[in-house]
Structure 1
Amino acid sequence: MNELSNVLAEPIARFGATVVTLGQALLLGAALFLILLVVLVVALWRSAHARRLAAAEAADHTREMEGRMASIMQAQAEMQGRLGTVADVFGARQAELTQSLSQRLDAMTGRIGQTMAEQTRSTHENLAKLQERLAVIDTAQNNIQSLAGQVVQLQAILSNKQTRGAFGQARMEAIVADGLPSGSYQFQATLTNGNRPDCLVTMPNDSPSLVIDAKFPLESWNAIRAAEGTDAQRAATQSFRRDVEVHIRDISEKYLLRGETQDTAFMFVPSESIFAEIHENFEALVQRAHRARIVIVSPSLLMLSIQVIQAILKDARMREQAHLIQGEVVRLMEDVGRLDERVRKLQTHFGQAAKDIDDILVSSNKVTRRGQKIEALEFAAEGEFAQETTEPKASPRTVESPQGTLRLRVVDEA
C-alpha cells in the first residue's frame, strides 16, 4: 500500500508552482470518463426519444394524409359532377352564342352593305366635285401660263433700253402727277443746253427747277442676277458699277445748270429691292452720287419727296396770300371785339336780372312768413287776449267776429 501510495504521490507534471501527481491524474481521468459516460447515456436517451417522437409524428402525418386523400377523392368526385353540369350549361350557352353571333353577323353584313353603298355614292359625288375642281385648276393654270407669258413680255420690255426707260418714266410720272398739282411740273421739258430731262419740278419763289431722271441701267442689274459663277458675277458687278457711274456723270453734266436747275438732282430707281441692294452692296456708288449731288430715290422716297415739295408749294402759296390773310385776321379781331362788348353787356343784364330775382325772393320770403303767422291766429273771448310777445315794431289790431273779439298781432319788418 505504501508503494502504491508512493507511486500515486509521484509527480508527473508541473505547471508553474503547481505539481500534478499520478493519483491526481488518474482521478482527473476517471472523472472525465464518468462525465463522458453520462453524456453518452443522455445522448442515447435523447436519440431514442426523438425516434419515438418522429415515429409518432410520421404516424399522425400518415393518418392526416389518408384523410386528405379521402377528402381529395370526394372533392374530385364532386368536381366531376360539377364539370358535367358546367359542360351541359356551356354547350347550351355556346349554342345561344352561336345563334346570337349569326344574327349579329347578318345585321352587320347588312349595315356594311348599306355603308358601302353610301360610301360608293359619296365617292362618286366627291370624284365629280374633284373633276370640277380640276377643271377650275386647269383654267387657273391657263391663266398662270398667260401671266407667265405677260411676265416674259415684261422682261423683254425691261431688257430693251428704250422700253425700260419708258417703264421707269411711267412710274415716275404717275408718282409726280398724283402728288403735285398740274402746272407745277413738266415732263420731257427742254433746257437751255438742249437736253431734255424726264421731269422738271417747278420750285416756288422763282427758284431753279428740280430735275428727276428715270433712265436707270436696269439691264446691267439683270445681268448680275443672270450671272453664274464667280467670274461672271464679278464681271457683271463691275459692268453695273461702271454703267451707274456713267449715268451719274451724265446727269451731273447735262441737267445741273447754274441758275436754271437746282444743284441737286434725283436719279429714280423703279424698284425698292434694287434700291435696297444698291445701298447694301454698292456703298461706293451711293457716296459717288452724293459727291456729284445726285440723290438715288426709290418709288417710296420719291413719293415722300413729292409730298415735301407739295408742302413747300402750299406754304409758298400761303405766303403769297399773306396780306389777304392778315386783312381777314384784322376783320376777325374787330368782330371778336364787338362780340366781347356785347357779351359784357349781356353779362350786365344778367347781373341786373340776378339782383331783381334776389329782391323778388326777399319779398316772397316776407309774404311766406306773413302767411305762416296768419295761419297761427288765436281766437279768444271778448276782453281776453293772448299774451303779447316782445317782437319789434308789433302793433295789435282787433277784428269783430260772431264768435268774439279776434285779436290779430301784425309784425312789421323791414
Structure 2
Amino acid sequence: MTYAVVILGLLVAVLVWVVIRGQAVPKSDNTALLLKQDLTQLSNDITQLKDGVQKQMNDQANASSRQIAQQSAASIRILQDVTEKLTKLEGTNKNVGDIANELKSLQNVLQNPKQRGVLGEFYLAQILKNTLPPGAFQLQYKIAEGMIVDAAIILDDKILPLDSKFSLENYSRLLEAKPEEQESLAKIFKEDLKRRIDETSKYILPGKGTLDQALMFIPSEAIYYDLLANKVGLGNVSGRNLIQYASEKKVTIVGPSTLSAMLQTIMQGLRSIEIHKDTEKIRKNIEQLSKHLVAHNAYMLKLGSALGTTVNHYNATYKELGKIDRDIVKITDAEASVEPALLDRPTLLDD
C-alpha cells in the first residue's frame, strides 16, 4: 500500500510539472493536443493505479480478516482446551481431596484400638468368606461361657480357633523411633505380641471341642513379614524368639497371604473328610446289602427245599397214577394212556 501511494505521489508531481511546463511554453495547436493526450493518458494511469491500489487494499483486508478469524478460532480452541483441562484438574483435585479424607478417616480408625480390632475382624471374615464354604466356619464362636473367639473353622467334630490380633500402635512407634529408642520400643512391641499369643492360646480347650492348636491372625502383612524375617521376632522374650514361643503355646501365627494358603489346605482336608464320610457310608450300605443278600439266599434255599419236596410229591403221585393206568390195561387189554412226566429236583449250582 505504501508503494502505491509513492507512485501516486510521483504521478501527481509529474502532472503538476507538465501543467507548469505547458504554461511556460508558448502554446500551439500541436502542443495543446499533445498536452491533452498526455493528460488523458495520465488520468487513465491514475484511474488504473487507484483501482490497483483499491484491489490490493481489499486483498490485504480480506487476508487480514482471514488471518484474524483463524487466530480467533485457534484462540477459542485453546481457551476451550484450557477450560476442559481446568475442569478435569478440578475434578482430580476433588478426588485427591476425597482420597485424602478417606485416608485420614482410615488413620483415625487405625489409631483407635477398638476400631482397629473391628477392622482386623472384618478382614479376617472376608478372607474366610472368600475361601471356605459357609458351613465350614463360624464367626464369633462361643467356646465356653465368657469365651468367644473371632472365628472357628469346623473340622468334622472339632473346631480350630482363629483369633485376630492387630498390634499396630507399638509397631508404628518402633518404625518411627530414633536409633537410640529402637531397642526399648522393640522390647515393648515383643512383649505386646507375646501377650497376644498368650490370649490366643487360651482358646485351646480340647475338652470343649477344640483342636490342640489355634491360629493367630495378624491383619498387617508388614508386621507378619517382619516377624517371619526375624526383624521383630528375634531378641530375648524369656530367652526365646516369638515364633518358637508361639509354637510352644501351640499357636500358629498367620498373615493375610499365608492364611489364604492355609485355608486352601484346610479345604482339601475338608474334602478328604467328606470323601472319607462318603466312602464309609458306601461301605456301610454295602455291608447292609450283603446282609440282605445272605437273608435272601437263606430264603431261596428254603424255597428250593420246598420245591424239591413238591417235586418229590409230584413224581410219587404221577408214579401212582401210572400204576393205576397199568392195572386198567391189564383188565381191559387196552393201550397205556398215561406216561408219567417226572420232574427233576432243583439242585444248587457250584460257584
Higher RCO, 1 vs 2 (CA within 8 Å, ≥6 residues apart): 2
- Tell me the equivalent position of 2:187: 238
Which of 91, 94, 98 matches 1:139?
91
- Distance in 2 (alpha carbons) for counterparts of 1:126 and 1:286: 64
> What's the % identity of the aligned pairs?
27
Which of 204, 208, 216 matches 1:267?
216
Residues 205-220 of structure 1 mapped to structure 2, 5 A cutoff: 206=157, 208-220=158-170
- Distance in 2 (alpha carbons) for counterparts of 1:211 and 1:181: 17
- Distance in 1 (alpha carbons) for counterparts of 2:84 and 2:221: 41
- Tell me the equivalent position of 1:291: 248
Residues 46-195 of structure 1 mapped to structure 2, 5 A cutoff: 118-119=70-71, 121-192=73-144, 194-195=146-147
- Distance in 2 (alpha carbons) for counterparts of 1:127 and 1:146: 28
Change (3 A) 1:141 1:232: farther
Residues 191-202 of structure 1 mapped to structure 2, 5 A cutoff: 191-192=143-144, 194-202=146-154
Secondary structure of 1:221's counterpart equals helix
Tell me whether 1:224 sits opposite 2:160 in the alignment: no
How many Å apart are 1:120 and its aligned residue? 5.3
Tell me whether 1:249 sits opposite 2:198 in the alignment: yes
Q: Which amino acid aligns with 1:251?
A: T
- Distance in 1 (alpha carbons) for counterparts of 2:220 and 2:67: 60
Q: Which amino acid aligns with 1:122?
A: A
Tell me whether 1:258 sits opposite 2:206 in the alignment: yes
- Distance in 2 (alpha carbons) for counterparts of 1:319 and 1:292: 31
- Distance in 2 (alpha carbons) for counterparts of 1:324 and 1:112: 98
Q: Which amino acid aligns with 1:138?
A: E
Contact 2:186 2:232 (C-alpha < 8 Å) held by counterparts: no
TM-score, scaled relative to structure 2: 0.55
Contact 2:226 2:233 (C-alpha < 8 Å) held by counterparts: no
Structure 2 residues without counterparts, runs of 5 or longer: 1-58, 235-241, 287-351
- Distance in 1 (alpha carbons) for counterparts of 2:182 and 2:75: 55
How many Å apart are 1:212 and its aligned residue? 0.7
Which of 266, 273, 282 matches 1:316?
273
Contact 2:132 2:263 (C-alpha < 8 Å) held by counterparts: yes
How many Å apart are 1:130 and its aligned residue? 1.6
- Distance in 2 (alpha carbons) for counterparts of 1:273 and 1:123: 53
Q: CA RMSD in A?
A: 3.0
Q: Which amino acid aligns with 2:166?
A: F
Q: Which amino acid aligns with 2:244?
A: Q
- Cα-to-partner distance string for 1:76-106 (whole Å, 9 max, x where unaligned): xxxxxxxxxxxxxxxxxxxxxxxxxxxxxxx
Runs of 4+ off more than 4 Å: 110-117, 323-328
Q: Which amino acid aligns with 1:161?
A: P
How many Å apart are 1:228 and its aligned residue? 4.3
Secondary structure of 1:144's counterpart equals helix
- Cα-to-partner distance string for 1:31-66 (whole Å, 9 max, x where unaligned): xxxxxxxxxxxxxxxxxxxxxxxxxxxxxxxxxxxx
Contact 1:180 1:310 (C-alpha < 8 Å) held by counterparts: yes
How many Å apart are 1:296 and its aligned residue? 1.6
- Distance in 2 (alpha carbons) for counterparts of 1:111 and 1:289: 88
Q: Which amino acid aligns with 2:105?
A: Q
- Tell me the equivalent position of 2:228: 279
TM-score, scaled relative to structure 1: 0.47
- Tell me the equivalent position of 2:334: none
How many Å apart are 1:196 and its aligned residue? 1.3
Structure 1 residues without counterparts, runs of 5 or longer: 1-106, 329-414
Change (3 A) 1:291 1:113: farther
- Tell me the equivalent position of 1:102: none
- Distance in 1 (alpha carbons) for counterparts of 2:64 and 2:181: 68
